[in-house]
Amino acid sequence: MNSRNSRNPKNLLHNIKTRTARVGIIGLGYVGLPLVIEFVKAGFPVTGFDTDPGKVAMLKKGKSYIKHIQLSAINKQPSADFTPTTDFSQLQIMDCILICVPTPLNRNREPDMSYVFNTTEMIAKYLRKRQLIVLESTTYPGTTDEDMRRILEEAGLKAGKDFYLAFSPEREDPNNRDFNLRTTPKVIGGYTQKCLAHAKALYGTIIDRTVPVSSTRAAEAAKLLENIYRAVNIALVNELKMLFDKMDIDIWEVIEAAKTKPFGFQAFYPGPGLGGHCIPIDPFYLTWKARQYDFATRFIELAGEINTAMPDFVVTKAVQALNDHGKPVKGSRILILGLAYKANVDDDRESPSYRLIEKLESMGAKVRYNDPYIPVIRKTREFPQFAGRRSVPVSGRYDLILVATAHDAYRAIDFASFGVPVVDTRNVIKEKLRYCYQA
């Protein structure tokens, strides 16, 4: 069905239906790469854009730089049409452009929209009639229909009339065994009904179920609600973990008991702090936007305070464990198990492990890490000083072991044989250990 002869330069819906629409995906990371794979599998010609020449070089060789995202589905498809590039002038020949760039916070915990707006300005340079532009990056309500639209329309074309504009938030959950990109419903909001129709048609080719909403703002707000819901509930169990610790009650046992109720309860689990690109960051996009309406988002801000304080609680536990064994923090050798923010992935974005390393080293500890998924620490925006450090073997040659990530590999370790105190933040250690501290 994908034939150059069936392409109609004046009918984007027809080109989407016949898989002749040229799809451009900007940002080839945890969100962009899965989209590349699905659109190529669906038969579209796909161009991937990224500013990192190293990533593009690897992709040109058919290799992925993200462990749990493999390009086998593309490499095994003889007719696959995927071109990774750093040449953004190719945007002018794209029919559909999906933006999958970071939306971090700056040092003041305010939205850093430079990636989105710089990308939008780049698209505006090459914008032409009948193109579909979709933002997938999580952001505050009003980003798409106000800020992006203003930038795109500066050249004279009008959204909804000359080109199509939409927002459809990513819902990636790395290494989720139950849901993937295709089986996770896709929320879509268009600037106009025509914009919505074009975006819905495009995503309908790779997603089992699309969920259209009334506007881009509603779609932006829906994504924020999803992550705020999780952030608030994680903060709740984190706070209860600290309380129950004082009461000598096992929070993990309490959660297991509570979740047997078949209605009215959903289990959330505590940890050493929040990680990943979404939950630690996205709620503050709404907090920032709410200030423009003279509204205080008290739940969000309180949840943020609790969650960001969790590394301090863990460090206090580590100090207690060392003290119980007659050792000061200064000079102690500490091994942190897990650098990834989530089990069994190589995603270290916003990982609380970095905070733990920073805090413990500031107290004079000698900290090493082990992570089977991250053999070498890559340069990050917040912790560039750790770049180049390498994972070390797990052993009992340390004064303290701190479990920060629930990798399956750690569940098979015989911690008792090490004879050193262990601080477990993820309930990885099930057997009774004399020197195991829950944190």
Catalytic residues, by residue number, are 278
Q: Classify strands 23-26 and 82-85 as parallel, antiparallel or unpaired.
A: unpaired
Six-digit token string for 354? 């970095």
Secondary structure (DSSP) of 184-234: S-EEEEESSHHHHHHHHHHHTTT-S-EEEES-HHHHHHHHHHHHHHHHHHH
- Output DSSP code: residue 42: T
For 417-422, the CB contacts below 8 A with 24+ separation are 420/325, 420/396, 421/321, 421/322, 421/324, 421/325, 422/321
Q: Which residues contact 246 (CB under 8 A, 6 or more apart)?
A: none
Half-sphere exposure of 425 (CA within 13 A, CB side): 31
Distance CA 61, CA 271 (A): 38
Distance CA 7, CA 20 (A): 6
Q: What angle do CA 148, 151, 157 make, to 5 degrees?
A: 105
Cα R_g (the chain), whole angstroms: 24
